[in-house]
Amino acid sequence: MKPNILLLENEKILFEAKPKKNLATYLIFKALIKVFSLLIIIEIFYNGFAIFSGKITNYTVTILIAYTGGLFLLYFIISFFWIRMVITRHWYFLTTQRCILYSGFMGIKKKFIPIYRIIDVNFSQSPIEMLFNIATVNLAEQSSSNSNISYGMPKKSWADFINLSPSGIVGLSYADAEQFSHLLTAMIVKKI
């Protein structure tokens, strides 16, 4: 459902977009790669432990395969429903005065970024995103304390290894992402 936007005085919507449906396929693909990598690590660790202890049997291998297969299936099912909910709750708007990002799973998170605070726009498309014909737009905002705040930049924590929520302005078609970034860049250049 499209969110209602309360516009400021003399404010007009220049661009609005929603992530494309193939973002779900892309995120599920990324989730499966993460799970498969994690399961391989578990397999190597467990098999290494079993070999060194001399307690590896056919029964142990069968249990391990069933356990990892069950984890894989459970993670896939949870990620599928989680990703579907996340995608239906993302909207991106560019107005004459601000960039508005709506996101959320159970609730709604609204991020209003005034145009005058945006200092950099980064448009990217990874090889996997190329495969699914989607792209990402990252924004860098000047904070009030003169330090930069980045939206959509990669984080460096282990928690992000299992994070299924997209960051930045993701899931736009290549054309939409290009149009959004060009409009925003032109607005930023005009303010300087």
Q: What is the rounded distance in angstroms from the CA atom of residue 136 to the CA atom of residue 174?
A: 8
Q: Tell me the whole-structure pTM to 2 decimals.
A: 0.68
Is there a domain that residue 5 lies in? no
Please count the other Cβ atoms lying within 10 Å of the Cβ belonging to residue 175.
10
Asked whether residue 53 falls in the same domain as residue 128, the answer is no
The CATH number assigned to the domain holding 157 equals: 2.30.29
Q: What is the pLDDT of residue 13?
A: 92
Joined together, the tokens standing for residue 192 give: 């300087």
Q: Is 39 helix (H, G, I), strand (E, B) or coil?
A: helix
Is there a domain that residue 134 lies in? yes
Q: Which residue has the tokens 């992530």?
A: 19
Is there a domain that residue 102 lies in? yes
Structural domain count, the chain: 2
Is there a domain that residue 109 lies in? yes
Percent of all residues in the chain with a pLDDT value above 70, rounded to a whole number:
76
Q: What is the rounded distance in angstroms from the CA atom of residue 178 to the CA atom of residue 101?
A: 17
Candidates 20, 8, 6; CA nearest to 133 is 20
Asked whether residue 57 falls in the same domain as residue 110, the answer is no
Asked whether residue 44 falls in the same domain as residue 113, the answer is no
Q: What is the pLDDT of residue 192?
A: 54
Of 35, 64, 84, the last residue of a domain is 84
Asked whether residue 74 falls in the same domain as residue 133, the answer is no
**Residues in the chain with pLDDT values less than 70:** 1, 46-61, 86, 105, 143-168, 191-192
Asked whether residue 47 falls in the same domain as residue 118, the answer is no
Asked whether residue 73 falls in the same domain as residue 96, the answer is no
Residue 52 domain boundaries: 27-84
Find the Cα–Cα–Cα–Cα dihedral 94, 95, 99, 103, rounded to 10°: -60
Asked whether residue 152 falls in the same domain as residue 117, the answer is yes
